[in-house]
Amino acid sequence: MSGSRIIVVEDEADIRRMLEFYLESEGFEVEGIANGGDAMDRLDGDPPGAVILDVMLPHHDGIEILGVLRANAAWKDVPVLMLTAKGGEQDVVRAFDAGADDYVVKPFQLDSLVARLNRLLAR
């Protein structure tokens, strides 16, 4: 839903900038984070409306961050959409087991990503 604040954790600068641009043009307020360490630090702050989280990140991977996020009282109900190049069945199961709400595999469709994000925010 437009107006919501979204955190995008993605180490590839071009993809992060693309998501920031596209989501902002859809009316979201977007905060980009480039690595797992900064994402962990950010968990001490205010929770956003939703998180888009890459799996393969420097310092801490997305699954590890998700585990810490779900253990944090203030963040545990924040919807998390995993965005990753790892599309194997085991990877998807691992992400859902860790508490992901949705899982999108690269290459992805921007419109479809926004639609999934809106669905998560509407819950």
CB-nearer residue toward other proteins: 113 or 120: 113
Minimum Å distance from CB 11 to other proteins?
12
**Dihedral angle computed from the Cα positions of residues 31, 36, 42 and 43, in that order, rounded to the nearest 10 degrees:** 120
Helix, strand, or coil (residue 54): strand
Which of 1, 15, 43, 121 is in the footprint of other proteins by CB under 8 A? 15
The answer to the question of residue 11 lying near other proteins (CB under 8 A) is: no
Q: Map residues 37-76 to x or -, x wherever contact with other proteins holds by CB under 8 A.
A: ----------------------------------------
Judging by DSSP bridges, how do beta strands 5-9 and 50-54 pair with one another? parallel
Based on its alpha-carbon atoms, the radius of gyration of the chain, rounded to whole angstroms, reads 13
Minimum Å distance from CB 35 to other proteins?
18
Contacts of 28 (CB under 8 A, 6+ apart): 2, 3, 4, 5, 6, 117
Binding-site size, other proteins (CB under 8 A): 16
Interface residues with other proteins (CB under 8 A) are 12, 14-15, 17-18, 21-22, 25, 85, 106-112
